[in-house]
Amino acid sequence: MIATLYGTIFSMDPVNCIVILECCGVGYRVQVSAGTLSRLPSPAYQPDGSEARGESVRLYTYMAVREDSVDLFGFYTAEEQDMFKLLLTVSGVGPKAAMSILSLMTPRTLAMTIAAEDTKSISKAPGVGAKTAARVVLELKDKLSKLYPETGGIPEIADIPTAGKSAAKSSKLSDARDALLVLGYSRSEITAAMKDINMEDSLEEIIKKALAKLMV
């Protein structure tokens, strides 16, 4: 069982939330949540593998072994890893569904959502239907009330402004928006998160910065 990985980011796929973390010359393919992706440093390697520089990072991991595959799921914090494991205890929730939920909200926000029995918000995660969301609330509410005694509901969401015309004309912005839609965020949420985006940034950086805002 691989519990943690420590190394440098070799490559990053922000659309599918996949990173290749190189540790001692071995590259591990790791599926991460949107929140974890937003906190990781950008790859410091050239496509040919040269110029190995940059920050080292540690990911808490969970290894899922099936008959036809072995998958690694990575988390920036132990708290997120623990929430992932809790989600896996829910009937009908597998690693992909658990990661999908954690890509929409932080562990603490999820705990608040479950405390409020807000199944609608949970069901926004791609691949998670209303019945699955209801089971998440039913099976985890008591457990999470002990881990997060301060939870008592979901913060109110402020009005979200519309996007400017100049942003709509940018293909880079459009690509970033499409990537965030795939992760399950609404157009209004994406518009708010990308309001002050610097268009000089790369597509990867735009997505990461938007995710950082969406996960607050």
Instruction: Please report the domains of the chain, with CATH numbers, ordered by start residue.
Output: 4-75 (2.40.50.140), 78-147 (1.10.150.20), 165-214 (no CATH)
3-class SS at 185?
Answer: coil
pTM: 0.68
Distance (Å, whole) CA 81 – CA 2: 13
Collapsing DSSP states into helix, strand and coil, what is residue 137?
helix
Q: Which of 106, 107, 103, 101 is nearest to 119 (CA)?
A: 101
Tens place of pLDDT per residue across the chain (216 aa): 788 999 988 888 888 899 999 998 899 999 999 889 989 988 766 666 666 566 789 999 999 888 888 899 999 999 999 999 999 999 889 999 999 999 988 898 898 888 888 899 899 898 899 999 999 999 998 888 777 775 543 333 333 333 333 433 356 777 777 777 767 777 777 878 877 777 777 777 788 788 888 766
Helix axes 107-115, 95-102, angle to 10 degrees: 90
Contacts of 73 (CB under 8 A, 6+ apart): 30, 31, 32, 61, 62, 63, 64, 84, 95, 99
Query: Are 20 and 36 a contacting pair, CB within 8 Å?
Result: no
